[in-house]
Structure 1
């Protein structure tokens, strides 16, 4: 029996900020869950999908270059998601196991075997996830997925923190920032944090940050001059905030770029390095999966999440993400399974 298989489609190229019709739900497609060919792979029911700022850069004409391929206009969008396996034609993945990785944003997806491996998915990779603390599966597109790993790897390796140093993090109430605050405090760092509203300031203070300010109402450079200098800057916004951090850098500061006064980089011997989470998976993924879920389940680590229930809320959710109306990690929840 065929059932509806709704998908999220890139409907129009935005001019400036996306609007509620940039991403739309197409419910025209159907699928027979029992009969659809798997090509040696797996059939997955998607449970939750990640919404991330980098997706805005993919909303461009196909002939415009970028660090990731543009979304094909009129086609399904792709990104990080988590789902449960309904059928399998490979011994590598069992029915009822859960997988996380880069997938098509639709309710049901067939992931064929590539080079004999259904987890290869054109080189982008899927992971079988083992949820031994029985946390909500949607967490795996947030704190236990890309955003959590970005915070963990960037702080642990690129910045090489030492207890007593001062870290500054921008967008500190966001998906990555609020985790950087907590990871840094656990390592004995002094944390300066910026965010975009007084409500968010209070929220980030509750996470343990030493000094939090609203960058819309005070001068960032003045705040950093008073509470710095900055040994480590975890950058989520670039622009004037990055410039202010450079101006208030300590000797041999380290800047992690997640998201120009270049002579100051030389003066202060600043190390600046871009961060792509996938570069550190081989080194730290096993450790991450051991440490972060345990700390989350015990309450040692707090998670800020903005969950939108239902695929039809994608347009609203993405606009909220880019206009600062969300708090923490934005997640589109299709089924809130535990």
Structure 2
């Protein structure tokens, strides 16, 4: 088989980011370690991938801990991995020629070798490649299935979205508007609140400056029919006081507690769920893996019709991946947080 390659690869080094230690509380730069090695060689059926965009996502914080979860934890002294858009720069696989752009779960390294399993080719001309880590990727699919399968918003109902200026939340709100709902979002700055209004949210609340109970009650005078929970904590406690009968809650994330060193203690939700006959369902996007093509097709159609917009916070440089990840927990990103690898 003919081997296609870039002549410059032999002279290139390959950087990899490892999990150096498990954080206690908020992660720091010391939890990561960079190592340099040679660019790996290929065997029959393999491709060499060069990272173009690396995704940083809140769920990765849980994988830095030991213990059983819905996905195995990152191993100490092994490469961290996540969503990556990469380009095939050398190929011994005829189905993935040089120049092909793919998206998949890959190590945090500049170059990686793959046999093609788990990689999805990015279609040409439908959307920017980076969108397949955001609007048309895992965050967008999380919004699509969590809202439509669990919350099932109806025209005229009120949908509240916490973490609404994040990669998932902003898509949730826009889909809810497509379905004819009244949409209320919470975010952590006046700038993010203004952006949510641009996206068509009916109301948006800065949870850092508002009295949550009063602001939510004013924004949802007819109560809450659907709640898409990305955050947990005090925001969720306040929303539960406004639940209507037969409300539906999609439990997607709890970023407010990801760095807690002790289990948080707060209001018990069971009584409120019981009194309102509300449905609370946790979910992870891999539950819907078989239906991903359906979700991508619909999200792409809405995007091309101008019904969905997105925002990206892009950090430049492979060496900035840990900093971009840490920024998730201080609210530095609006929309999808990505690192563009030079």
TM range (shorter): 0.7 to 0.9
Show structure 1 runs of 5+ residues with no match. Answer: 113-117, 120-124
State the 1:94 CA deviation.
3.7
Number of the residue aligned with 1:307: 314
State the 1:271 CA deviation.
0.9
- Tell me if the contact between 1:38 and 1:110 (Cα under 8 Å) persists in the aligned partners: no
**CA–CA distance in 2 between the matches of 1:75 and 1:331?**
21
State the 1:56 CA deviation.
1.0
SS of equivalent residue, structure 1 residue 69? coil
Number of the residue aligned with 2:142: 150
Number of the residue aligned with 2:245: 251
SS of equivalent residue, structure 2 residue 201? coil
State the 1:92 CA deviation.
4.4
Kindly indicate whether residue 332 of structure 2 is the aligned counterpart of residue 332 of structure 1: no
The 3 A distance-change label for structure 1 pair 140 and 88 is: same
The 3 A distance-change label for structure 1 pair 269 and 276 is: same
Question: How big is each residue's C-alpha offset from its partner over 1:211-234, in whole Å with a ceiling of 9 and x where there is no partner?
Answer: 111112223233333324111100
Kindly indicate whether residue 8 of structure 2 is the aligned counterpart of residue 5 of structure 1: no
State the 1:158 CA deviation.
1.4
**CA–CA distance in 1 between the matches of 2:252 and 2:172?**
12
- Tell me if the contact between 2:122 and 2:129 (Cα under 8 Å) persists in the aligned partners: no
- Tell me if the contact between 1:309 and 1:334 (Cα under 8 Å) persists in the aligned partners: yes
The structure 1 residue matched to 2:182, chosen from 186, 190, 193, is 190
- Tell me if the contact between 1:229 and 1:249 (Cα under 8 Å) persists in the aligned partners: yes
The 3 A distance-change label for structure 1 pair 286 and 60 is: closer
TM-score (norm 2): 0.86
State the 1:54 CA deviation.
1.0
Number of the residue aligned with 2:263: none
Kindly indicate whether residue 276 of structure 2 is the aligned counterpart of residue 268 of structure 1: yes
**CA–CA distance in 1 between the matches of 2:109 and 2:130?**
15
State the 1:317 CA deviation.
1.0
Kindly indicate whether residue 169 of structure 2 is the aligned counterpart of residue 177 of structure 1: yes
Question: How big is each residue's C-alpha offset from its partner over 1:166-187, in whole Å with a ceiling of 9 and x where there is no partner?
Answer: 1000011111111111111111
- Tell me if the contact between 2:17 and 2:34 (Cα under 8 Å) persists in the aligned partners: yes
Kindly indicate whether residue 218 of structure 2 is the aligned counterpart of residue 231 of structure 1: no
SS of equivalent residue, structure 2 residue 274? helix
Number of the residue aligned with 1:56: 61
SS of equivalent residue, structure 1 residue 232? strand
State the 1:293 CA deviation.
2.9
Question: How big is each residue's C-alpha offset from its partner over 1:245-295, in whole Å with a ceiling of 9 and x where there is no partner?
Answer: 222111111100110220111111111111211222323x23333332344
Task: Give the alignment of 1:1-338 within 5 angstroms.
Answer: 1-26=10-35, 28-31=36-39, 36-38=41-43, 40-61=45-66, 64-112=67-115, 118-119=116-117, 125-133=118-126, 135-226=127-218, 227=220, 228-259=222-253, 260-283=268-291, 285-297=292-304, 299-335=306-342
**CA–CA distance in 2 between the matches of 1:296 and 1:102?**
24
TM-score (norm 1): 0.87
State the 1:327 CA deviation.
1.3
**CA–CA distance in 1 between the matches of 2:124 and 2:280?**
35
State the 1:150 CA deviation.
0.6
SS of equivalent residue, structure 2 residue 30? coil
SS of equivalent residue, structure 2 residue 45? coil
SS of equivalent residue, structure 2 residue 175? helix
SS of equivalent residue, structure 2 residue 146? helix
**CA–CA distance in 1 between the matches of 2:120 and 2:282?**
24
